A and B are shown apart, each in its own frame.
Chain A
């Protein structure tokens, strides 16, 4: 028995884990762990929030978008800021799963599954907002190209139509990628489940996976190919979202830095959300052996690096506004610093630029609760960035006679809080019903770590 693979102490996995123990630990979180009050309390609270959200959506469909504070010139308001914020958060999951897989980063193994779930739920929340914002959401299907009796087509030259394709593709591809990776784990749950009901449910989801060598080979090929396809997709999605703004000629929107600046911001907010979810998760489920301080440290470094890319975006945005010599761009930039929405702008800079600098210290990168607090601050800052771009730019465009202010109503806040609630509710369901960490990849990691030299 002595020659069975057992993990040695390494940064990405603590010592003493074997095939059986990692399997039983992660599967046990779903199958064996009793429901405890912290989860139940969070579940019920977010369920209540979700019900309120669905009720608010119903009321929106009856009443119309006049519920919100949007009025010309600010027609986009919270709904679109929330949309951009959520889709940005949804970027880290695919980045972790696809890009880090192709780069053969071992630290991705224990965080990719729940990061992908986060991506899926965040992209779902994002996809809802443009539809809610349509005004006549029952005509949402007009965005799809089909030969209709009106003989009309979507406007292919509009970034808003590109967005429909980008978000829809992103949702489908990330769902397939997630499910593909989960098939072997669903088979594990099927084989470990105690009750017949669970066995049937997981058995149906596992599609009869039995782990044959040829299946694994094709599975691996398909998984790598999907990672290769998802990598440019991640970059394209937020670039297209950025072009929703950049192609319009509104001062504050019309900027070529937008696509890369948005992608950097997306990874920044996405990694912040990964930390927001990972830190309570590892604590509550005692996963400190799998999601180690090294994982937190790496995620924090990505946060710091993408944070500096974002700083570059902020600098160029302001520089170009002044350098252009365009009086409308300059007026918009000055309004951003000193106008009605200036407190939002400066708070955003404090959250996104100043606060993350604490990550230069190793001790800070390895302190879970500090990282958790920082991740909340960054999420907040990124939301304010989206709000500044969406609202402040349109509130202060060309003619003073056309200026106007957006002030959110209670409904605006209900929709923001409701979407957060529903996201959290879906995530809470996910961690109880599906394996939050990829079991088969953890077994592979056990194998690699048992063979590898002891890493410092």
Chain B
């Protein structure tokens, strides 16, 4: 496990080649697979074995909490903390509390989506071994990369190398830790 390398990396020119290579690596039993693409490639996350994101559930929960919290805030203020009776009109005048509760629902949901995705992705993380890999500055331009990490319990030098070579990459490199 004390491999001085972060992983083995292969570089491709097309999204199809990357998806196929990621799929092949996953089929061969590798689990610590990272695939880098300059845009959102359909099917790539599935190919590297990414289960369904739980982000929608988090966003729903936060949005509901935001709505309930927003309503509670108004109800508490208008009914308990500072009730104003005007001609026996109801204190809990719920139709008038809908707009603010709606806005707090949206606000909480959007904050959850933004920060949830960021934290789940482990960002911000300014330093990462992959940034030092050759050609990796092209990962945000026009190249596609597959990295088999050495901390995979099933990682095997010869097998990983052979697998990547079989996918006919543009170039193969080692990523230093």
Point out the residue from A152, A187, A204, A440 that lies within 8 Å of B82, measured CB to CB: A152
Residues of B within 8 Å of A203, CB to CB, are 126
Given the interface contacts A176-B114, A208-B125, A217-B53, does A165 sit within 8 Å of B142 by beta carbon?
Answer: no
A177 within 8 A of B: yes
B88 within 8 A of A: no
A145 touches B114 (CB 8 A): no
Given the interface contacts A156-B78, A157-B93, A169-B107, does A191 sit within 8 Å of B137 by beta carbon?
Answer: yes
Chain A's closest residue to B36 (CB) is: A211
A213 within 8 A of B: yes
In whole angstroms, how far apart are the Cα atoms of A287 and B139 in the complex?
24
Point out the residue from B113, B125, B139 that lies within 8 Å of A225, measured CB to CB: B113
A153 touches B77 (CB 8 A): yes
A151 touches B77 (CB 8 A): no
Given the interface contacts A192-B141, A216-B45, A236-B103, does A208 sit within 8 Å of B128 by beta carbon?
Answer: yes
Given the interface contacts A208-B127, A225-B56, does A216 sit within 8 Å of B44 by beta carbon?
Answer: yes
Residues of B within 8 Å of A169, CB to CB, are 103-104, 106-107
- Min CB gap A448→B, angstroms: 10
Residues of A within 8 Å of B45, CB to CB, are 213-214, 216-217
Residues of A within 8 Å of B100, CB to CB, are 156, 161-162, 165
In whole angstroms, how far apart are the Cα atoms of A95 and B91 in the complex?
37
B28 within 8 A of A: no
Given the interface contacts A20-B141, A173-B106, does A218 sit within 8 Å of B53 by beta carbon?
Answer: yes
Interface residues of B in 106-128 (CB under 8 A from A): 106-107, 109-111, 113-114, 116-118, 120-121, 123-128
Interface residues of A in 127-185 (CB under 8 A from B): 145, 151-154, 156-157, 159, 161-162, 165-166, 168-169, 172-173, 176-177, 179-180, 184
A225 touches B55 (CB 8 A): yes
In whole angstroms, how far apart are the Cα atoms of A192 and B15 in the complex?
21
Residues of A within 8 Å of B15, CB to CB, are 447
B176 within 8 A of A: no
- Min CB gap A329→B, angstroms: 25
Chain B's closest residue to A237 (CB) is: B103
Residues of A within 8 Å of B93, CB to CB, are 157
Chain B's closest residue to A3 (CB) is: B14
A112 within 8 A of B: no
> Which of A226-234, A261-269, A356-364, A399-407 lies at the binding interface?
A226-234
Interface residues of A in 224-254 (CB under 8 A from B): 225-226, 229-230, 232-233, 236, 240, 243
A444 within 8 A of B: yes
A210 touches B117 (CB 8 A): no
Interface residues of B in 121-173 (CB under 8 A from A): 121, 123-128, 130-131, 137-142
- Min CB gap B45→A, angstroms: 4
Point out the residue from A152, A159, A211, A221 that lies within 8 Å of B38, measured CB to CB: A211
Interface residues of B in 57-107 (CB under 8 A from A): 59, 63, 73-74, 77-78, 81-82, 93, 96-97, 99-100, 102-104, 106-107
Chain A's closest residue to B16 (CB) is: A3
In whole angstroms, how far apart are the Cα atoms of A232 and B107 in the complex?
12
Point out the residue from B37, B56, B77 that lies within 8 Å of A216, measured CB to CB: B37
B50 touches A440 (CB 8 A): no
A210 touches B130 (CB 8 A): yes
Given the interface contacts A151-B81, A211-B140, A221-B53, does A156 sit within 8 Å of B97 by beta carbon?
Answer: yes
A396 within 8 A of B: no
B117 touches A214 (CB 8 A): no
A443 touches B39 (CB 8 A): yes
- Min CB gap A1→B, angstroms: 8
In whole angstroms, how far apart are the Cα atoms of A176 and B106 in the complex?
12
B20 within 8 A of A: no
Which DSSP category, helix, strand, loop or mixed, fits chain B's interface? helix
Residues of B within 8 Å of A210, CB to CB, are 36, 128, 130-131, 139
Which DSSP category, helix, strand, loop or mixed, fits chain A's interface? helix
Residues of B within 8 Å of A216, CB to CB, are 37, 39-41, 44-45
Residues of B within 8 Å of A190, CB to CB, are 140
In whole angstroms, how far apart are the Cα atoms of A5 and B44 in the complex?
17
B139 touches A232 (CB 8 A): no
The residue in A4, A19, A169, A213 that gathers the most chain B C-beta atoms within 10 A of its C-beta is: A213
B50 touches A225 (CB 8 A): no
Residues of A within 8 Å of B116, CB to CB, are 222
In whole angstroms, how far apart are the Cα atoms of A213 and B99 in the complex?
38
Given the interface contacts A162-B99, A447-B39, does A221 sit within 8 Å of B56 by beta carbon?
Answer: yes
Point out the residue from A1, A4, A173, A184 that lies within 8 Å of B107, measured CB to CB: A173
Interface residues of A in 1-59 (CB under 8 A from B): 1, 3-5, 18-20, 23-24
Point out the residue from A166, A184, A188, A217 that lies within 8 Å of B103, measured CB to CB: A166
B34 within 8 A of A: yes
User: Chain B interface (Cβ within 8 Å of chain A)?
Assistant: 13-15, 22, 34-41, 44-45, 47-48, 50, 53, 55-56, 59, 63, 73-74, 77-78, 81-82, 93, 96-97, 99-100, 102-104, 106-107, 109-111, 113-114, 116-118, 120-121, 123-128, 130-131, 137-142
User: Chain A interface (Cβ within 8 Å of chain B)?
Assistant: 1, 3-5, 18-20, 23-24, 145, 151-154, 156-157, 159, 161-162, 165-166, 168-169, 172-173, 176-177, 179-180, 184, 187-188, 190-192, 203-204, 207-222, 225-226, 229-230, 232-233, 236, 240, 243, 440-441, 443-444, 447
The 4 closest A-B pairs by CB, nearest first: A19-B142, A222-B117, A207-B124, A217-B45
Q: List 7 A-B contacts (CB under 8 A).
A: A4-B14, A156-B96, A156-B97, A207-B118, A216-B39, A216-B44, A219-B121
Known: A23-B140, A229-B63. 17 other contacts (CB 8 A): A19-B38, A151-B82, A156-B96, A208-B126, A210-B130, A213-B47, A214-B50, A218-B121, A222-B59, A225-B55, A225-B59, A226-B113, A226-B114, A229-B109, A230-B110, A236-B102, A440-B40
